[in-house]
Structure 1
Amino acid sequence: MGDRARDRLVSGEAWDDFCETLKVAGRVIDAFGDEPSDLERAEWYRFLSRLTRNGFERMVENCEPERPRLRDAPWRQSINVQSPDQDHLMCEFVDGRHEYRIRGNRGTLPYFVIATWSAPQPGDLGARDWAPVGVDGLPEFDPTNLTTTSFLSSRDLEFDADGNFELILSQNPPEKNGLALQSETTGLLIRTVYNDRSTVIAPTFEIERLDQPTPRPIRAAEMSEGLAKTAQIVLGYAELVRAWWFENLSQRPNTIDFSEATYLSNGGVLDRLHGFGCWQKPSDTALVVRFTPAECEHWILQVCNRWQENLDVYEDGQGYVTKFTANFEEDGSILAVMADRDPGLGGNWIDTFEHEAGVFSLRLIQTEGAPSISIQEVALAELEARGLAALEGVTPILSGGPSET
């Protein structure tokens, strides 16, 4: 960080480049041609606005080297099929040179996991214009290309009798209640997993730098970096949903694939299996999903839009089903119907909320294995009239099973 980054901010060049990069991100939807509906296009531009808000919260407001904070992801931000049953507390680092202490109390939360990550970023990121290179610049500078560098779960921590704990983050951490940082570490994420929010006493977490630096005003070069990081977050996630759709998910509609490589490519942690897929159906049909989850801490089947966001009904408890909300069949299996209206079969109805395509996923935390999944597409009116008998003769699409590396 030097004079060039400062000069770009003072002259307005950093702001101009930020705005131009947002324009580049906005045109990523052109790759989808006429495929997206008006609803999906409205969601796309709202998605970009949410990414911008997320970027500012993380990279401008919460990336002060002398004042680390753990902040929840912004409201209604659901990047990459974010679970409604998880909160995401984040702290952004410039690098991993410092040592930190997290103090907290688990409340009555059954499970959480703390992870550090890195992402490609050059040392002079605030001194350069990124809009001219567009997505071609992402291999060098992409805050969304997250690699988990270390993690531990609440099962690995030692708590006192009241649920309190301390955790040291350092390049030379202690053996107990320690988490390793690397020189390239750029952030920290705490995933808190709720079974039933109405009955859980929420945990508390606070972070501090061990050398206790004195807070200071922001510098021009730092604001130049914050603008660049925010713009690249928007561009990176826009390109991510395009690449995942065309190069992976849409090639195998109505299936879920447990690919460890896919999940870990965006900051995933190895305490869970997370399968992704593309779902497609006309509005007058339903998808009948069946699987038998293995024993696990938590699971969630989640239906999202094309941009990997929760559908707008998630605030009403719709668009997903979990281990703790599901109606199980007598044999322990799950029957879920994805449709625009409830066919009245019992089991579990997941409202697709006037969408005809999107991304869906099955996430299992601390599980013994990935289940096989059967999906049948059937006319919704037939399902309403005949019940499960309407599935006779409908060949199921099979997927899931053991995860791929």
Structure 2
Amino acid sequence: MGEAETSRRARERLLRGLAWDDFCDTLKQAGRLVEAFDDGQGGGPSDLERAEWYRFLSRMVRNGFERMIENCEPERPRLRDAPWRQSINVQNPDQDHLMCEFEDGRHAYRITGDRGTLPYFVMATWTAPQPADLAARDWAASGVAGLAEFDPTNLETRSFLTSRDIDFDAEGRFSVLLSADEPTAGPRNWLRLDPDATGVLIRLVYDDRRRVVPPHFEIERVDHPRPRPIEPEEVAAGLAKSGQIVLGYAELVRRWWQENLDQRPNTIVFSESTYLSNGGVLDRLHGFGSWRKGRDEALVIRFRPPECEHWILQLCNRWQENLDVYEDGQGYLTKFTAKPEPDGSILAIVADRDPGIGGSWIDSFSHETGVFSLRLIQTEGGPAVTIHRLPLARLEREGLAALDTVTPILSGQVTD
């Protein structure tokens, strides 16, 4: 199919309402994936988890619309924060994501701004599978199988640039060029943009938000095109991408849980390939696992973090979302909030209430299972992790001495 015919069909699909119908049908496909978690033996999602599942899908709808409808105009690039209260793939509560979507990497861009007092950030470009005629075709009938050809969530990082590789003036101002060719001045303040790039993501890493002067970032196309009205075929493309985002993230959650995390409860494994499979960058080491305990139980976690820019131990639900108490500063620990033990180790207690035995309490907020992670930025390696699972009442009664008769679960290995 030639470019003109592709554009004509995409335009017709939108004007006849077919693109909208296909988007709605794709959402139905995504919603049904929750049934894949039911093992037939009472081990499926609880009522709480099902409620969070459908809320998760609604958040992915917002994510798709914000990124692919509102923020994907070729002549008007924008850096926009991820939609409020949505967290994809165990997103760090102390990390903001600024995103700008492209059709491709044919244009050059410039990002300017000032860092405020932000200690660290990293920019990255990515690509994802998307055929040239995506707006001219229906996708719902293909379901999950269609993601092999068209999946805006299957992000592959192509280049990245950390704040350590950028020159700033005395006030913290900077300018970074995004282009295919390296500038004559050299690679500093340059982010390579491949022809098939579909977006740029800036991860802003905070230590203490209350004390950080917020940064400011803007993006522009170097050739400064004049804005124009939107075309029907562009809306058709945006609807197709938005629908596949919802389906793609729903399937990603299912695949990670059933094919990986659920098979090794209460362990954290550092895997570069797992993290990089969804747009990760090589400035950090990221360990994932599943956690599991009863409402009347506790998990006692101990590890000794190495020297690094930032680390976070994070508790999430089965859908890889932060627990709702993250807005209250709960559900996670960081390098800047944890209380180290005298030997430098971190003692974390995961439970529905604080047992009052010292260390740092992480509220499991009425959940019995989910995803957890240990992320370390600018580190040389990861720590060994020891986890004890035991009755909460016993831990409250006996304190840490109760661990002496509980077999520990050892993890923290780096697999690749």
Fold similarity call, TM over 0.5: yes
**Shift, 1:198, TM fit:** 0.4
Match runs of 1:221-260 below 5 Å: 221-260=233-272
Q: Which residue of 1 aligns with 2:111?
A: 102
* Distance across 2 between alignment mates of 1:43 and 1:342: 24
Indicate whether 1:137 and 2:137 are aligned.
Answer: no
Q: For 2:379 and 2:344, how far apart are their aligned partners in 1?
A: 16
CA distance in 2, matches of 1:206, 1:331: 44
Alignment partners' CA distance in 2, 1:256 and 1:65: 41
Tell me whether 1:127 sits opposite 2:136 in the alignment: yes
The amino acid that maps onto 1:178 is W
Query: What do residues 331-359 of structure 1 show as CA deviations (whole Å, max 9, x unaligned)?
Result: 00000000000000111000000000000
Partner of 1:27: 32
Cα deviation for residue 282 of structure 1 reads 0.8
Deviation at 1:404, TM superposition (A): 2.1
Q: Which residue does the alignment assign to 1:184?
A: 196
Q: CA deviation at 1:393?
A: 1.4
| Other structure's SS at 2:124 match | strand
Range with greater deviation from structure 2 (290-299 or 165-174):
165-174
* Cα distance in 2, alignment partners of residues 345 and 241 from structure 1: 35
Partner of 1:163: 172
How is 1:2-401 mapped onto 2 (pairs within 5 angstroms)? Answer: 2-33=7-38, 34=42, 35-174=44-183, 175=186, 176-401=188-413
Partner-residue secondary structure (3-state), 1:155: helix
Quote the Cα distance in structure 1 between the aligned partners of 2:168 and 2:148: 41
Looking at structure 2, the residues matched to 41 and 127 of structure 1 have their Cα atoms a distance apart, in angstroms, of 34
Is contact 1:305-1:358 (8 Å) kept? yes
> How far apart in 2 are the matches of 1:376 and 1:83?
25
3-state secondary structure, aligned to 2:405: coil
Contact 1:109 1:193 in 2 (8 A): yes
Give how far 1:162 is off.
Answer: 1.1
Show the counterpart of 1:404. 415
Look up the equivalent residue of 1:359 and give its one-letter code.
Answer: V
Counterpart residue identity of residue 70, structure 1: L
CA contact (8 A) 1:261 1:404 kept: no
In structure 2, C-alpha distance between the alignment counterparts of 1:298 and 1:186, rounded to whole Å: 28
Cα distance between partner residues in 1 of 2:222 and 2:150: 29
SS in 1 for 2:325: helix
CA distance in 2, matches of 1:101, 1:250: 43
Secondary structure of the residue that 1:145 maps to in structure 2?
Answer: coil
Cα shift readout 1:191-238 (whole Å, capped 9, x = no counterpart): 000000000001111100011000011100000000000000000000
The residue matched to 1:342 in structure 2 has which SS? coil
CA distance in 2, matches of 1:13, 1:2: 15
Q: Distance in 2 between matches of 1:353 and 1:282?
A: 12
Compare 15-24 and 32-41 and name the one that shifted more: 32-41
Structure 1 counterpart of 2:174, one-letter code: F
1:161 shift after superposition: 1.2
Cα distance between partner residues in 1 of 2:140 and 2:230: 24
Gaps of 5+ in 2: 1-5
CA distance in 2, matches of 1:18, 1:43: 22
TM (norm. structure 1) is: 0.99
The number of equivalent residue pairs is 404
1:15-46 deviation digits (Å, cap 9, x = unpaired): 00000000000000010115100000000000
Q: Give the alignment's Cα RMSD to 1 decimal.
A: 0.7
- d(CA) in 2 for partners of 1:378, 1:106: 45
CA offsets 1:239-271 (integer angstroms, 9 cap, x no match)? 000000010000100000100000000000000
Give the AA of the match of 2:370. G
User: SS state of the match for residue 77, structure 1?
Assistant: coil
Percent identity, aligned pairs only?
Answer: 72
2:90 partner amino acid: V
Contact between 1:99 and 1:171, CA under 8 Å: does it hold in 2?
Answer: yes
Q: CA deviation at 1:173?
A: 2.8
- Structure 1 SS opposite 2:270: coil
CA-to-partner distance for each residue in 1:72-98, whole Å, 9 max, x for gaps? 001001110000000000000000000
Matched position secondary structure for 1:138: helix
SS in 2 for 1:276: strand
2:32 partner amino acid: R
Normalised to the residue count of structure 2, the TM-score between the two structures is 0.96
Q: Secondary structure at the match of 1:213?
A: coil
The secondary structure found in structure 1 opposite 2:14 is helix
CA distance in structure 2 between the aligned counterparts of 1:121 and 1:170, rounded to whole angstroms: 21
